Each structure stands twice: as C-alpha cells, then as structure tokens.
Amino acid sequence: MQTSPIQEETFKAFMADYDNYCHYMHDPLYYDYISTVQETHLLGLYEDDALIGVSMLSGRPVLKRYRIFTSHAGPLIKPFSNERLQFFLKEIDEYAKKQNGLKMIHSPYHIYQIRNSEGEVIESEWNNHEIVDIYRNQGYSHNGFTRQLVTDELLRHQAVLDITKPEEELLKDMDKTTRYNTRASEQMGLRLRYLEENEYDKFIDIYKDTEERIGFDPVSSKKIRNLLHTLKDRTYLTLSYIDLEEYLDRLTEELDALESDRRDMQNKIDAGNGTKRMKGRLNELKDLAANKQKRLEKIRGVQAEYGSIIELSAAMYYYNNHEMVYLFSGSYPEHSMFMGTNYTTWQMIKKAKSLGLGRFNFSGLTGDFTEDSKDYGVYKFKKGYDPFIEELPGTFEKIFNRPVYKLAEKLKKV
C-alpha cells in the first residue's frame, strides 16, 4: 500500500461509488464548502493501482507557519480493515508533519461497539474495540468515552434502524405507543411538504425554539444555515401540517356512520330481533359516538384558536449512498396531539426506502440511557422504532511539536 495526494476529481469519483460508513463531512458538497473557507488537503490510499481509501484534511493556521489539522470524520477505507487504518494513519501523520502540522484531530466515523435499543452492549461482528488501541499506539490521546449531546466532536452514539425490512414488519417492530401514534397520524390526514430556501428561517426558528424548551446544548443558527446551503442537494427539509377543515369533515363522516349503525341496531332490538351480543355492541357504538363527538368539539376549539392550517413540526434529513440521517428537528408542543413528528419520521423512513437505502440513522444520543439523562425524551422517542445503537470510538488528538504548541496555547492561538 502507498499514499499520495489526490485531485478533487479523484476524491469525488471515489465518493460517488462509496456506499459504506460516511459522514456528511465527507460529502463532495461539504468539500466544495470547506475548501473555500479552510486550507484543504486530499490524500489517497492505494493498493497496487486501486484507490481504496481517502482522507480529507482541513488545516487551520497557527502562528502563521504551523497548522492544526482535522480529518473530519475520516479517514474512509473500502473495504475497511484495522491493518489498513493503521497504515493510513501513519502516512497521514507523516504528510501532516511535512506540512508543518502542529496537531492532528481524528473523530473516526467507525463503529466501536453495538448496543441494543436498551443501551446494552451486545455481541456483534461489527464490534471493533481494537480501533482505540490503533490510535493510541500511533501516539494519539483519546478524549474519552464522552456522553454529551452536542460538542465540537462527533456524537458518539447513534440509533440506527435497518429499513431493508418490509414496511409492515417495520411497523410491527415499533413499540405499541409508537405504532399507534404513527397509524393515528396517518388516519388524521396529516401532510408533509418540503421547505424551500426562502423558508430556511422558518425551520431554524422552530428548531431553536425546541432546543431552548428541551434544554439541548445550542447549535448556532449560522451552523444550521450553512449546512442547509451546503448540503441542499442531499437534504430534505420537511414541514408537517394538518388541514383541520378536512379533518373535521372526516370526523363528521365517521360520526354520521356510527350514528347510522347505532340507529339500525336500535331498530332491530326494538323490533325484537336483537341478540345479547347486539345489545353489547350497541353500548360500544354509543361510547364510540360520544368519543367522536368530543373529538369534534376539541378540534373545533383548536380551529377557532389557531385557524384551519396548523403547522406541526419541521426536520432536516441528509442522505448519501449509505443511509438517511435525521439531523435536526423541532415541533410546536401545543399541537403535540396531532403527532407531527411521528408522521414525518415514518414518511421519511419510507422515503429512504424509496431511494434504495438500507439504513435510517436517528443520529445522536448522549449514551446515557437512564431516565435521569438530559436527552431521555429524545432517546425514548427513537427507542420506540426498535433501532440498534452504534457507539463510535470518540475523538483522538496528537501533538507533533509540543514546545511550539505550548507557546501557541500561552499566546491563546489554539
């Protein structure tokens, strides 16, 4: 194996066919953005004449002469092996040092271990505990097995759903509440539309309001807006809503049908043609009609206060050749009864299937699966779809020139 710098076209050609673990920071669209704001280097890993790996490095100048490098979520290798990773890391380090690298940061998008939906570590062929030792043996320090929701590093836990199964099986695998909410949201006639560029602020406002309400660590509006513009050809920005006029019409039709069935059954009983079972069913119809009437009155009240078109939730999804990723979302709590987030999630799972993808990635979790965790509500929602949880190894750092680095720290340049 050997490495060498590669051209942008070579990198993009490799990524076009790459269908394994790949963060959006390795998307050619992201490269087009980051290469305009930071010094960017592309390295290729070759086996004979075949390109089997790439690394995208961004360099930030320090003390004019030096650079702090980050490999984003890389490197990427296909097919992946620890031996190839170890070789590539050494080569990347040597290249960085020749470029006056002061420090290198890696947050590899690789699996450390697999957990079930309860957060329990399970035996899996994908478990790769050795990856931590590979970095440590190369002289990297490990920032630890962190449990934070939003940091400058990659979130270490992500809930992933295998969507190669038929839709009915995916529904069956959901927990009872999630399945009920999903089906109920469809029965209510919710709708989904994709937001345009001139509606980015609408999405950001909904997300930031949710972020503050729930207490998430803040993601800057600037970062979200940059991602929306950068990845727009690989994203879906959704808004779920309901037309209450249509919903009221549907409820009225359902109530009329119940009342018609009740009257027919009552007439049969009054004519002496009723059975004991029929009398029981009559009581059920009365209860169903009463509940439907209450629902009608409640929805009329919502319509009177908020109007006929009610916006419910918004979300941002990114997709590549490997998976669809649920990046950000927000919702209006006063309209939670319509379950807009459940509706959107199910529609986007089906969308991912239609794109030929095999994974739906619910993205970040803190890794604290107890009820006391900061993101327990988020975890509980994702858990309802019966995903497995991928734990990533975390972030690794290596300082190439410690005296200069200490000087830079003293001068507050790092």
User: DSSP characters for 295-334?
Assistant: HHHHHHHHHHHH-SEEEEEEEEEEE-SS-EEEEEEEE-GG
Establish if 151 belongs to a structural domain. no
Establish if 122 belongs to a structural domain. no
**Tens of pLDDT along 31-59?**
999 999 999 999 999 999 999 999 999 99
For residue 131 the two structure tokens come to 């990856």
In total, how many domains does the chain have?
A: 3
Task: Give me the percent of the chain exceeding a pLDDT of 90.
Answer: 85
Do 195 and 331 fall within a single domain?
yes
- Cα 285 from Cα 224, distance rounded (Å): 50
Establish if 126 belongs to a structural domain. no
The residue among 306, 330, 354 that closes a domain is 306
pTM of the entire predicted model = 0.93
pLDDT of residue 152: 59
Do 214 and 263 fall within a single domain?
no
pLDDT of residue 364: 81
- Cα 273 from Cα 54, distance rounded (Å): 79
Mean pLDDT of all residues in 219-229? 93
CB atoms within 10 A of CB 364: 23
Establish if 144 belongs to a structural domain. no
Q: Which domain holds residue 173?
A: 158-243+309-391
Do 295 and 367 fall within a single domain?
no
DSSP state of 394: -
The residue among 286, 306, 326 that closes a domain is 306
**Tens of pLDDT along 108-151?**
999 999 999 999 999 999 999 999 999 999 999 999 998 875 44
The residue ranking higher by pLDDT, 233 or 373, is 233
pLDDT of residue 172: 97
Do 225 and 317 fall within a single domain?
yes
**Any idea what the CATH number is for the domain that residue 279 is in?**
1.20.58
Do 227 and 324 fall within a single domain?
yes
Do 186 and 325 fall within a single domain?
yes
Query: For residue 249, is pLDDT > 60?
Result: yes
Helix (H) or strand (E) holding 162: strand 157-162
Spatial CA neighbour of 205 closest among 372, 384, 332: 332
E-strand stretches of 335-395:
359-365, 388-391
Establish if 138 belongs to a structural domain. no
pLDDT of residue 3: 97
The residue ranking higher by pLDDT, 373 or 295, is 295
Mean pLDDT of all residues in 229-242? 97
pLDDT of residue 153: 62
Do 100 and 207 fall within a single domain?
no
Query: Which residue is associated with the tokens 């009225």?
Result: 252
The residue among 254, 276, 306 that closes a domain is 306
pLDDT of residue 150: 47
Do 264 and 229 fall within a single domain?
no
Q: Whole-number mean pLDDT of the chain? A: 94
Establish if 399 belongs to a structural domain. yes
Do 222 and 357 fall within a single domain?
yes
Per the CB < 8 A criterion, the answer to whether 352 and 360 are in contact is: yes
Do 166 and 49 fall within a single domain?
no
pLDDT of residue 189: 96
Instruction: Write out the DSSP string of 40-94.
Output: EEEEEEEETTEEEEEEEEEEEEETTTEEEEE-TT--EESS--HHHHHHHHHHHHH
Task: Give me the percent of the chain exceeding a pLDDT of 70.
Answer: 98
Query: For residue 215, is pLDDT > 80?
Result: no
Query: For residue 347, is pLDDT > 60?
Result: yes
Do 69 and 177 fall within a single domain?
no
Query: For residue 165, is pLDDT > 90?
Result: yes
- The model's confidence at residue 413, banded by pLDDT at 50, 70 and 90, is confident
Do 168 and 90 fall within a single domain?
no
**Any idea what the CATH number is for the domain that residue 376 is in?**
3.40.630.30
Classify residue 64 as left (phi > 0), alpha (psi -120 to 50) or beta.
left
Q: Which of 102-116, 137-151, 227-241, 256-270 has the lowest average pLDDT?
A: 137-151
Establish if 46 belongs to a structural domain. yes
Mean pLDDT of all residues in 158-170? 97
Establish if 116 belongs to a structural domain. no
